[in-house]
Each structure stands twice: as C-alpha cells, then as structure tokens.
Amino acid sequence: MKKCLLLLIAFSLVFCFSFAQTNEKEVAAAVESLNNAMINRNKPTLEKLVSKDVSYGHSTGAIQNKEEFMKDLLEGVVKFTTITSENQKITFADDLAIVRNNSSIKGNRGDAVLDLKIGILMVWKKERDQWVLIARQGYKLQ
C-alpha cells in the first residue's frame, strides 16, 4: 500500500512539473508572438492574442481598451522595430499566467527615434487552448 501511495505521489509530481513547464513555454511563446505582432503590425495575430476585455497600460500612464490599443498600434505614429525582453519571470495562479520582464523597445515615433527601457507586467488567461492577454502595465525602470 505504501509503495502504491509513493508511486501515485511521484507520478503526480512529475505530471504537475511537466504541465507547468509546458504552460510556461506556451506563455513565453505567446509573449514573443505578441512582440512580433506589434513590430509587424499583424492585426490577425493581435486579434487572437489580445482579449476583447484587455486593459493595456503604458509606462506614460495612458490606459487603453482593445479598440484603442489596436487603432493606436496599427494606425498610430509609433512604429516598433525591436522589442527585446529580459529577466522574464512567469508564475501561475489557476488559469492565469503572470509575466514580468524588462523590455528594451526601439522604433520611431514619427520622425523621432524611440528607445525605451521599461518594466512590463502582463496577465494572460488560457481560453480554449489559447493564451490571451487580459492586462498589461508598463512602468519606468529606476
């Protein structure tokens, strides 16, 4: 009986660990896909990755809903050329993934060069086998 219980516990731990690793890889891939979609202004990918209920906060303090975020990104004066994430940490709470990273963002704002280094907090939710962004807040690094 003890052997069966130990085997069951060991199997459960292995399953949970591999499940967490899979989810972490999926979330990291979703973050990378979002960055690439923002650079390439890829509307279909953005539509899939960003929740209809998103709260998108900029490091300037501006907060946008999905419609405002999409319009600004796809039609606005800012054009991203690179978005690089460093020191990324992903944690989970039920069906939510909490992502923190430091991002280096380069591009253009009209004729001006854009070169930002900001911290980002994102909350992703798994909906029908797809991770979608439900909240994002950028903040100035000290």
In tens, the pLDDT along 75-84 reads: 999 999 999 9
Lowest mean pLDDT among 19-23, 42-46, 88-92: 19-23
2-140 has CATH 1.10.357.10 classification: no
Above 70 in pLDDT, residue 22? no
More confident residue, 14 or 121: 121
Reduce the DSSP state of residue 88 to 3 states and report it.
strand
Residue 11 clears pLDDT 80, i.e. is over it: no
